[in-house]
Amino acid sequence: MNILFIMYDQLRFDYLSCAGHPSLKTPNFDRVAARGVRFTQAHVQSPICGASRMSFYTGRYTSSHGAQWNGYPLRVGEMTMGDHLRKLGMGCYLIGKTHMIADAEGMDRLGLSPDTVIGARQSECGFDAIIRDDGLWGEGPDGFYDQKRSPYNEYLKEKGYPSENPWADFANAGISDDEIASGWFFMNADKPANIREEDSETPWLTDRTLEFLAQADEPFCAHISYIKPHWPYIVPAPYHDMFGPADVPPATRSDSERDNPHPVYGAFMSNNIGKSFSRDEVREKVIPAYMGLIKQCDDQLGRILDHLEATGAIDNTMIVLTSDHGDYLGDHWLGEKDLFHQQSVKIPLIIADPRTEADATRGTTCDALVEAIDLTATFIQAAGGDVPDHIVEGRSLHPFLFGETPGNWREVAISEYDYSVTKMRDMLGVKSRDARLFMVFDGRWKMIHAEGGFRPMLFDLETDPEEFNDLGDDPAYQNQIDRLYDHLHAWALRMSQRVTRSEAQLERMRTRAAKVGILPFLYDGSEVPEALTARYRGKAPADYTKD
């Protein structure tokens, strides 16, 4: 079996027709959902690209792997999906984005060069990179955000788009009357991107995927990782005007949220992104473009599915659709992601498993508490391995795919956020190491703990499904807060770094000492079988204390 691990960037869980979106139809996502299980309570380990992805790829919490925000390198030697799968004979390939920064200092210390196979894998998050393109070729007075080469920009230049950065000037800019209409300006979000649709990012990556599939060595896990529907919010025709302000749902927000908010929430609301997305004209421009981008993703997914069906590969391919986090889109007076309302921390997750064991669950949903780190574990099991649970903290989703009830499933989902390098840290006046948030969610109660001396936030999603009422300072809920803190503390004490010894290896160590002559408890040797002390007996004495 092969695995197509398809990730979209910043795709909200509820912007799919199979998840109930009222006006956006995504027949190809739905087609996969009809073949598999849709997980309705899937959470990322951190609602930000880089940190979330490092958790997807390592199967570990962000405070375990340490790459807790965008641009924090993943430490050299940290094991990834690719390391685990290759040991099981399954290749692991990348086509698209990872947002991974190599630990250049660590690699240098270990003498690893990115131009070797081993060094390249360390640089590419354990994947063998077919195409690596993180899709954010922003450029400002200090130069490019991303220092790497952009295969996509090179493609556009080859296609004749006249710019040094056609990503910015064509793929992410619209046609305008007097000057280029940058996709960075929300007022331009309803303009068509100034590019042929088939040259835009999502079809381009789909083409690369189909090329890969035509020649791939099996078995493989291919991480197809689209940049869209991530901003800049601009999409080529005909997607740019498929949706309009009438399709924009009312913002999920309440004036009460701005009334004496928790300081951390208040700081995020007051940042540029929150202020911008609180404007109706922003939502009315952005959301139709966001929907158009998703619609384009859906159409391109259809091309992949058609190919798999035409070749019969669909019967031998596990298809996984997911996202690295959501997008507030103005809900809760916020934009982007970063905090833990469900618009941000919940993700779409659909797994279609072709094996007969999964027939019973096709087209069903599963509301177990699932975490992004579960995918690495799931793929290891799909590749025929046992999950090395001294390294991988996620758990295989196979029981849910096979219609079984796993024993002792997790009681809470945990997500983390490190805001050290943001302005919110200044606003709140906390130290870098205190600029960390932790979500504990049990399916009903969601608590957010903030380091740095703040009270917790608490939401009851049963009575307040929209998460408007922060109960964190209401003494009536202290018992819930205490209970969720107990979960947080148990999790914090988890064993996350004993990665060099498996359970099986520990078992083999258990009785070793005496059998290799370590006997620090014998008075006269009668305490143990004679064989254990034979080495120390029966030798003739002689005095060697003198020359």
Q: Which of 214, 246, 310, 531 touches its own copies by CB under 8 A?
A: 531
Site for its own copies in 255-284 (CB under 8 A): 272-273, 275-277, 279, 281-282
Site for its own copies in 433-472 (CB under 8 A): 433, 436, 438, 451
- Closest approach, Cβ 125 to its own copies, in A, equals 13
Site for its own copies in 61-80 (CB under 8 A): 63-68, 71-77, 79
Q: Which of 50, 288, 326, 335 touches its own copies by CB under 8 A?
A: 335
- Closest approach, Cβ 491 to its own copies, in A, equals 9
Q: Which of 359, 432, 464, 473 touches its own copies by CB under 8 A?
A: 432
Binding of its own copies by 363 (CB under 8 A): no
Quick one: three-class SS letters along 208-254?
HHHHHHHHCCCCEEEEEECCCCCCCCCECCCHHHCCCHHHCCCCCCC
C-alpha to C-alpha distance for 150 and 158, rounded to whole angstroms? 12
Site for its own copies in 166-185 (CB under 8 A): 168-170, 173, 175-182, 184-185
- Closest approach, Cβ 317 to its own copies, in A, equals 28
Please say whether the beta carbons of 414 and 438 come within 8 A. yes
Site string for its own copies, 189-218 (x = CB under 8 A): ---xxxxxx---------------------
Q: Which of 23, 89, 110, 260 touches its own copies by CB under 8 A?
A: 110
Binding of its own copies by 148 (CB under 8 A): no
- E strand map for 34-175: 37-43, 91-96, 128-132, 139-140, 143-144, 173-174
Question: Which residue from 31, 26, 39, 44 is spatially nearest to 327, judged by alpha carbons?
Answer: 44
Query: Which lies closer to its own copies via its Cβ, residue 279 or residue 362?
Result: 279
Q: Total residues contacting its own copies (rule CB under 8 A)? A: 131
Query: Which lies closer to its own copies via its Cβ, residue 324 or residue 353?
Result: 324
- Judge residue 482's burial from the number of C-beta atoms within 10 Å of its C-beta, 0-12 exposed, 13-18 middle, 19 or more buried: exposed
Site for its own copies in 123-142 (CB under 8 A): 136, 138-142
- Closest approach, Cβ 145 to its own copies, in A, equals 4
Site for its own copies in 402-421 (CB under 8 A): 418, 420-421
Binding of its own copies by 527 (CB under 8 A): yes
- Judge residue 217's burial from the number of C-beta atoms within 10 Å of its C-beta, 0-12 exposed, 13-18 middle, 19 or more buried: exposed
C-alpha to C-alpha distance for 341 and 323, rounded to whole angstroms? 16
- Closest approach, Cβ 286 to its own copies, in A, equals 10
Please say whether the beta carbons of 33 and 18 come within 8 A. yes
C-alpha to C-alpha distance for 341 and 515, rounded to whole angstroms? 56
215 vs 210, 317, 374, CA distance in Å? 9, 15, 29
Here the tokens at position 441 are 């969610």
Question: Which residue from 234, 328, 327 is spatially nearest to 285, judged by alpha carbons?
Answer: 234
